Amino acid sequence: MHIIKHFFTITKHRLLVMKYCFKAGLYKQGLLHDLSKYSFTEFFRGAKYYQGSKSPIGEERRKRGYSLAWLHHKGRNKHHPEYWVDLDLETNTYRPIVMPDKYIAESFCDHLAASKIYNAKNFTLQKVLDYYYLKEKLFIPMHEETKTKFEKLLQIYADEGEKAVFKYIKKNMRHKK
């Protein structure tokens, strides 16, 4: 059990997301980001399955077949696309619905911070892009409109850098529903 290391990792991540959210003008979201990680359900599983270089959620899944920490986390944090999945009454199947822009922006901040935290020694712009395009794009249930907007943020970041992407978010995504 790695209580101290896990605490420092999640706190470092939260502070970096907060910094990015503040740059994007998302002050309330920055302050409230990932507070559920300090709950009993998430924190102690995170400490138990702590990896250091990647999220403990994957390790919990490998050992248990599922992750209680993830199920708890995604149901309480609107910046995760999985939060925005609901039952379509016409087809009686679950489908993604459109995320509000401010949560897409927070998701980008979260994605960027996680890439920097877990790749601290060898962080590159390509790591941010690869993680999404190779590990998430085909597997995360995300509405096409949400996906398009999220990928636009990644593209602005790749082409023009951090300053430009946060300027774009401030101008275009902070207050839209």
Domain ranges, ordered by start, for the chain: 3-172
Residue 154 is predicted with a pLDDT of: 94
Contacts of 18 (CB under 8 A, 6+ apart): 30, 31, 33
pLDDT digits (tens, 9 = 90+) for 124-145: 787 788 888 887 888 899 999 9
Most distant CA pair in the chain, distance: 49
Residue 61's pLDDT band, with cuts at 50, 70 and 90, is very high
Examine the pLDDT at 87 and tell me if it is beyond 80: yes
pLDDT digits (tens, 9 = 90+) for 89-128: 999 999 999 999 999 999 999 999 988 887 778 887 877 8
**Mean of the per-residue pLDDT values of the chain:** 91
Examine the pLDDT at 54 and tell me if it is beyond 90: no
CA distance 155 to 161: 9
Q: Which regions of the chain does DSSP assign to beta strands (E)?
A: 85-88, 93-96
What percentage of the chain carries pLDDT values higher than 70?
Answer: 98
Residue 176 is predicted with a pLDDT of: 53
- The closest alpha carbon to 113, from 33, 32, 3, belongs to 33
Residue 143 is predicted with a pLDDT of: 96
Examine the pLDDT at 177 and tell me if it is beyond 80: no
Residue 89 is predicted with a pLDDT of: 94
